[in-house]
Structure 1
Amino acid sequence: MSPIQKSLKTGQDRYHSNARRVIIGEYRPLENISSHSNPSNDERELTLTPYTDACYPDFPVLIQSNGEPWEIGNLYLTNKLERSPNYESRTFKGIADHLLDYLRFLEDEKLDYLHLPKNDRLKVTYRFRQRLLSLVISANLSASTASARINAIIKFYKEIASWGLIDKQKIDNIAFLPVKKHLRTTTSYGGERNLNIESHNLTIPATRKQHNSEIIKDGGSLRPLTIDQQQLMLHALLDSSREYQLMFYLALFTGARLQTVCTIRLKHLDGTVDSHGDLRLPVGFGTLVDTKHNKQITLIIPGWLVEDMRIYSRCQEAQKRRGRSFYGDTHENYLFLSKNGLPYYTSKKEILDRSNHKPQKTPKSVKLQDGAALRTHIKQIILPKIRSTHSNFQSFTFHDLRATFGMNLLESQIKLLGEHLATECIDYVQQRMGHTNKTTTIQYLNYKSRLNWKNRIQHEFEESLFKHINTSSKKGA
């Protein structure tokens, strides 16, 4: 990525500021960070107590352009950490990115975050909202990002006041005005209920994207691959290393999400197979295999794939990789590791184990993995190989393999049971996919017929009108 591309991606080019976010590989906080008033003056003092053994990987810290930490921003992040029952590095990075954008704005405008004069239009929060709106109008920022950003900043002001990090009277009902909204909504079961929502007067509306008939909303916007596309993908995958092949197979033939595929341990292969020769593997909370929202489901892994995974686990290369890893060559280790012994997706268990681990010497900083290697493999290896012979092949994501499994499973069930038993088919697919809401599963049933109908209608009206169109393609025919 070029410096210009990186600047555009991070938003640094929007402001004249060199403020940045840095990551502490293994953050060991003070046991207690509190703020109290000093009777002798109007300043607030920090009380620091000794270090604990707790360790939080990849914790973000905000640095001003002058190289000094941004005190209030970092104090906010550390206090938020104290109050969070579960630490997720990705969540804190997201919060820090919103704060970083605000810090760059403050430096660009040469304003303090407490610049809150009586005139609302001059208040720093109102001016930041106006800057976000101008970025949206100029197509340099999406409306959804702008909406999330202003909400994060308002939450920042609310919480630094309620936590006593700043005098509440300085910002309460000054930085923004609270607004109460009453909404009437329909539940997933068809009932109606009233919701009372606390909002603020600086909200930025984020319009909903128009529904795309070619995607399925299942933890993201997913596009199932057709059978032809699956064949091309699998053929291209033959040149990839064995662990990549097996991870792709797991997603395609079980519907497992990326974090689930990458956090399977060696010991999970020791389970017994069922009467069909398939391994029924419980995943989710309490199993060491991560799932979205810790949801407990059972993966059914085909017997042939289980055997291939077992063979791979015993190969010399897999053993070498385990030897370089945090868990060593044990059955507690991940099945899939990179050449340098890192997982493809850092599990919640490893984060916990590392926080409790007391090394004999200062450990090397370890970056949390989030599946980026698999995304890069698709973009840089799989897609170029396919497009060398099929130039119009559309992009796909690893998560699309989950939707592809869902479509394959539904079609096979309808073929087996018949369309008149669609309800039974939906129930089975819902169970295998781990959908909480049946409406998510029904999308798979509607997807194919809706797409076929759209293509047929488009073709019919284009065919009827094309004879009246003046186009170069007709002249060259």
Structure 2
Amino acid sequence: MELSKSQRITFIRRTANVSADLYFDRAPLNALTHIVSHKFNGQEKKYTYSYTPVESRVAHDDSIYNFPFLLHKNGQPWKEANMYLWNIASGFKKLGSETDDIQSTATQLLDYLIFCEDKGIDYLDFSARRAVNRPSYKYFNWLVESGRVAAGSVNIKTGKVYYFFEWLFKQHGYENDIDRVDLAEDYNHFFDTSTGSGSVTRKKRSQRVPVSKEAAPISFGKVRDEGEDLRPLTTGERQELVSILKQREFNVDERLIAQLSLYTGIRKQTVLTIRMRHLELFRQEALIEKDGTYLITAGPGTGIDTKFDRKYKFYIPANLADELRVYAHSKVAKKRRQKFQENYSKEHPDLEPISEDDMYVFISERGNCHYMAKNDPRYKVTRKDARPKGKRTDVLCRKIEKYASTNFPKDFVFHWLRATFALRYYDNLIMIEQAKVEAGIQERPRRFDMILRDVMRRLCHKDITVTQSYLNLFENFDERQEAQNAFEDYIFRDFDDEFFKDGAEQ
């Protein structure tokens, strides 16, 4: 019986003492002894070996988590690929951390092996004189001609195969010329950073397809915010959303999750990884800003996740902070935290406990987080496809759509709340400037670049041109959006009248 693709990749949850020195005969006095039992042909054999663990100051956690182990279709281990993956995973920089990229590499290599099996090709035989008859070239041509794989993905897949064989051909018994897999040449890639410029040596391979560097066009009325196309809700749409969230069909935590993004502009990973200890900051009056908001720091070292692991500050209105604190100490929230702890101790008895201060504010009814933070002890031992990634916000958006009017946008997504916050914050800044001029506090409004900096700081943008695109969109936004909606209604109505009116051809 042949194994399916999903059955051909298994994961070893934890391999400890990866860098230890092993001894099968004479061992140092400080070595530890370990006995392994193994059954073969109905008889149990015991093997004894000794090892000396690496000091914690050298490797804080000398372990590999969720190591992907690949199998042939008959269930036998794929020796060469597993050796390669182990070589990557056992590097000091990888020890004690998640293995997401190694898991991706394993999947890509398995795709190559399955292709070779389906085509009756020996995946190790690169002896063909013509390049097109070698396994890697056949795989590349099949990927391109199938039309089902995006250009960027083709380059990633062929790259994984190339670097696998580049390593394998240096191992005893597998020596070969890497040029038979693909032709590649080194080049220097230059780049700029916030602290200066630099360069890195890369390989330019022949088994690549061109990838357009031009970004996809941005739809009318939207702004591209670090890879995401967002549209702020108009004033009327925002008012409808607020009314919907007040309905009794929405739980307190659902409303708070939406409000946090709507009134602060933070993304879902930041909303859903706020911890109990962050609520204690609301008790410190010294932290409250002049505008009645609490300043909270998010990013590495804070327990709150951010996009690109960027460290930044955001501001929570005092009234919203009070509601968060009330919810966090409610019977419902306490019961969910208790359920979380019960699940945690049962499923992960070997991990250090999570303290009450580090508990997530938002927990599901089943007792799990909605988004697993990177400093969560479970993060490195949980496969990337099993970690909660904020699907709760998708469910929330579908629920909002259910109670919304026909005028509410059908393509509404959670991240639009970020753009909606930005629009309202910008409008408020403009009104404040006008009020100061009218009251005689200042002769003229602040310069545009100063307002731009304020919006940039609140949205935690790294690139000011992104903030600039926001402000360009905000000019007369409501009027332009209403005009666009009216135009679309006219076009669709015209189509309906011409093609679907009574008596029209079917």
Provide TM-score, normalisation by structure 1: 0.75
Unaligned runs of at least 5 residues, structure 1:
1-15, 35-46, 356-363
More displaced 10-residue stretch of structure 1: 83-92 or 405-414: 83-92
Partner of 1:133: 144
Partner of 2:389: 371
Say yes or no: does 1:200 pair with 2:205: yes
Count of residues paired in the alignment: 431
| Matches of 1:225 and 1:121, distance apart in 2 | 51
Say yes or no: does 1:123 pair with 2:127: no
Preserved contact between residue 253 and residue 405 of structure 1 (Cα < 8 Å)? yes
Larger Rg: 2
Partner of 1:401: 417
More displaced 10-residue stretch of structure 1: 203-212 or 305-314: 203-212
More displaced 10-residue stretch of structure 1: 284-293 or 90-99: 90-99
Q: Cα gap change, 1:240/1:68 in structure 2, threshold over 3 Å: closer, same or farther?
A: farther
Partner of 1:18: 4
Partner of 1:308: 323
* CA offsets 1:126-170 (integer angstroms, 9 cap, x no match): 11110110122xxx2323322332233333333455xx5566742
* Letter paired with 2:216: Q
* CA offsets 1:240-271 (integer angstroms, 9 cap, x no match): 33223222222222222222222211011111
Partner of 1:298: 313
**Which SS does the other structure have where 1:318 is aligned?**
helix
2:113 maps to which of 103, 122, 128: 103
Preserved contact between residue 154 and residue 208 of structure 2 (Cα < 8 Å)? no
More displaced 10-residue stretch of structure 1: 206-215 or 366-375: 366-375
Percent identity between the aligned chains?
A: 22
Preserved contact between residue 185 and residue 205 of structure 2 (Cα < 8 Å)? yes
**Which SS does the other structure have where 1:170 is aligned?**
coil
Partner of 2:166: 158
Preserved contact between residue 374 and residue 398 of structure 1 (Cα < 8 Å)? no
Deviation beyond 6 Å, 4+ runs, structure 1 = 47-53, 182-185, 191-196, 352-355, 364-367, 450-460, 473-476
| Matches of 1:414 and 1:221, distance apart in 2 | 26
**Which SS does the other structure have where 2:296 is aligned?**
strand
Aligned-pair CA distance for 1:403: 3.1
Say yes or no: does 1:440 pair with 2:466: yes
Partner of 2:400: 382
Aligned-pair CA distance for 1:457: 9.6
| Matches of 2:130 and 2:9, distance apart in 1 | 35
Aligned-pair CA distance for 1:473: 7.9
**Equivalent residue runs for 1:64-463 within 5 Å:** 64-83=72-91, 85=93, 87-117=97-127, 118-136=129-147, 140-160=148-168, 169-180=175-186, 197-207=202-212, 208-214=214-220, 215-227=222-234, 228-237=236-245, 238=247, 239-271=249-281, 272=284, 273-324=288-339, 325=341, 326=344, 327=353, 330-351=356-377, 368-378=386-396, 380-386=398-404, 389-390=405-406, 393-417=409-433, 421-449=447-475
More displaced 10-residue stretch of structure 1: 443-452 or 294-303: 443-452
* CA offsets 1:51-100 (integer angstroms, 9 cap, x no match): 99655655544343323343333333333222373634543443333233
More displaced 10-residue stretch of structure 1: 209-218 or 257-266: 209-218
**Which SS does the other structure have where 2:291 is aligned?**
coil
Unaligned runs of at least 5 residues, structure 2:
22-48, 55-60, 345-352, 435-444
**Which SS does the other structure have where 1:155 is aligned?**
helix
**Which SS does the other structure have where 1:274 is aligned?**
coil
| Matches of 1:448 and 1:439, distance apart in 2 | 14
Q: Cα gap change, 1:350/1:55 in structure 2, threshold over 3 Å: closer, same or farther?
A: farther
Preserved contact between residue 237 and residue 408 of structure 2 (Cα < 8 Å)? no
Aligned-pair CA distance for 1:204: 1.5
Q: Cα gap change, 1:471/1:380 in structure 2, threshold over 3 Å: closer, same or farther?
A: closer
Aligned-pair CA distance for 1:448: 4.0
Preserved contact between residue 25 and residue 57 of structure 1 (Cα < 8 Å)? yes
| Matches of 1:159 and 1:231, distance apart in 2 | 59
* CA offsets 1:364-387 (integer angstroms, 9 cap, x no match): 99985232432541465333443x
| Matches of 1:150 and 1:33, distance apart in 2 | 34
Provide TM-score, normalisation by structure 2: 0.71
Preserved contact between residue 126 and residue 202 of structure 1 (Cα < 8 Å)? yes
| Matches of 2:50 and 2:425, distance apart in 1 | 57
Please give the root-mean-square deviation of Cα atoms over the aligned residues, in Å: 4.4
* CA offsets 1:350-404 (integer angstroms, 9 cap, x no match): 237977xxxxxxxx99985232432541465333443xx4287332333333333
Preserved contact between residue 267 and residue 415 of structure 2 (Cα < 8 Å)? yes
Aligned-pair CA distance for 1:179: 2.9
Say yes or no: does 1:31 pair with 2:42: no
Aligned-pair CA distance for 1:178: 0.8
* CA offsets 1:429-454 (integer angstroms, 9 cap, x no match): 21122222212221212234598779
